[in-house]
Amino acid sequence: MKNKKKCSLKFIFFIEPLSMLTKQSLFCNRSHLKFNFLHMNIKETGWETLLKEEFEKSYFKSIKAQLKESDEKIYPKNDDIFAAFELCPLHKTKVIILGQDPYHKPHEAMGLSFSVPNHVKVPPSLRNIFKEIHTDLNISPSAHGDLRPWAKQGVLLLNSILTVEHKKPASHKKLGWQIFTDTCIELIGQKKKGLVFMLWGNYAKGKAALLNSNDHLILEASHPSPLARGAFFGCKHFSQANRYLRSNGMEEIDWSLPQLQLF
């Protein structure tokens, strides 16, 4: 009996401190990811230097405070909020495709406009984008919707609003993200020349006012959503973009997507 008591005491003594440490560790890691990562993930991409003043402004601090205080489930996950900037460094950026806000269902949003992880069914708007690429460039539609290969070639897949609440589209439209992304569009338009901006739908078209059309190619079309009743088809934005890039001495975008392993 004595041996059993000793064994039991040792077991309790071992588990309790581990549980406390684990809770503290998880709390610290969550806090770190939620706030400090906003700068860390884009530190070596050139974006932090371009946007550093925005990070210190009151509206941006307000965004962080509101995210911290929210009890809602928010997409995308913390370390994907700035994925568009992380995957597409400033010096490589040559095409900008503007979306509105992230997908609002579980496992869909990944911080890139129109893109979904490779195990998620391709959404209707992205499916129509693939159809247009097929018609325009004779590239077979991809079986998956992971657009990271585009981002790594220099396509900035930027949503105007960078976060959203679970199953509540446009729920963060008043959070302040548009101030940040509008400034981003303006600054990149001023810093670089010869960029291609693809603006689909009235919301995105409104961002043309932030740009100098003499310095860039601004392509406008209806939104690829099925709700637009096919008005997006025939815009030929992808071939136009590549011709413009070639004419300005830049490498064109390979709009095909490699077959990825599905999990």
pLDDT digits (tens, 9 = 90+) for 171-184: 999 999 999 999 99
SS3 content of the chain, % helix, strand, coil (to 5): 50, 10, 40
Q: Nearest Cα to 225, choosing from 134, 139, 103, 74?
A: 103
| 223 φ/ψ angles, rounded to the nearest 5 degrees | -70, 145
Over residues 74-111, the pLDDT tens digits come to 999 998 999 999 999 999 999 999 999 999 999 999 99
Mean pLDDT of the chain: 87
For residues 38 and 52, what is the distance between their CA atoms, to the nearest angstrom?
11
Give the count of alpha carbons within 13 A of 153, CB side only.
16
Does 116 have pLDDT greater than 90?
yes
Category of 221 on φ-ψ map: left (φ > 0), alpha (ψ -120 to 50) or beta: beta
Share of the chain above pLDDT 70, in %: 83
Extract the tokens encoding 80: 């994907």
Assess contact for 108 and 116: CB atoms under 8 A: yes
Please provide the size of the chain in residues: 263
| Residue 244, H or E segment | helix 237-247
Helix (H, G, I), strand (E, B) or coil at 181: helix
User: pLDDT band at 30, cuts 50/70/90?
Assistant: very low
Q: Nearest Cα to 198, choosing from 99, 112, 67, 74?
A: 99
Strand 95-99, strand 155-159: pairing: parallel
Average pLDDT over residues 132-158: 97
Over residues 42-65, the pLDDT tens digits come to 777 899 899 999 999 999 999 999
Return the ∠ at Cα 84 (arms to 248 and 135), rounded to 5°. Answer: 60
Show Cβ contacts of residue 110 under 8 Å, excluding neighbours closer than 6 positions.
76, 80, 83, 116, 117, 146
| 18 φ/ψ angles, rounded to the nearest 5 degrees | -65, -40
What is the sign of the dihedral through the CA atoms of 229, 235, 236 and 238? Answer: negative
**pLDDT on residue 81:** 94
**pLDDT on residue 5:** 46
User: pLDDT band at 41, cuts 50/70/90?
Assistant: low
247 C-beta neighbours (distance < 10 Å), count: 10
Catalytic residue among 80, 101, 136, 146: 101
* 8 CA to centre of own chain: 51
| 101 part of the active site | yes
Residue that the structure tokens 């709390």 belong to:
27
Strand 164-165, strand 74-75: pairing: antiparallel
User: pLDDT band at 9, cuts 50/70/90?
Assistant: very low
Q: Nearest Cα to 50, choosing from 208, 186, 193?
A: 186
Assess contact for 221 and 232: CB atoms under 8 A: yes
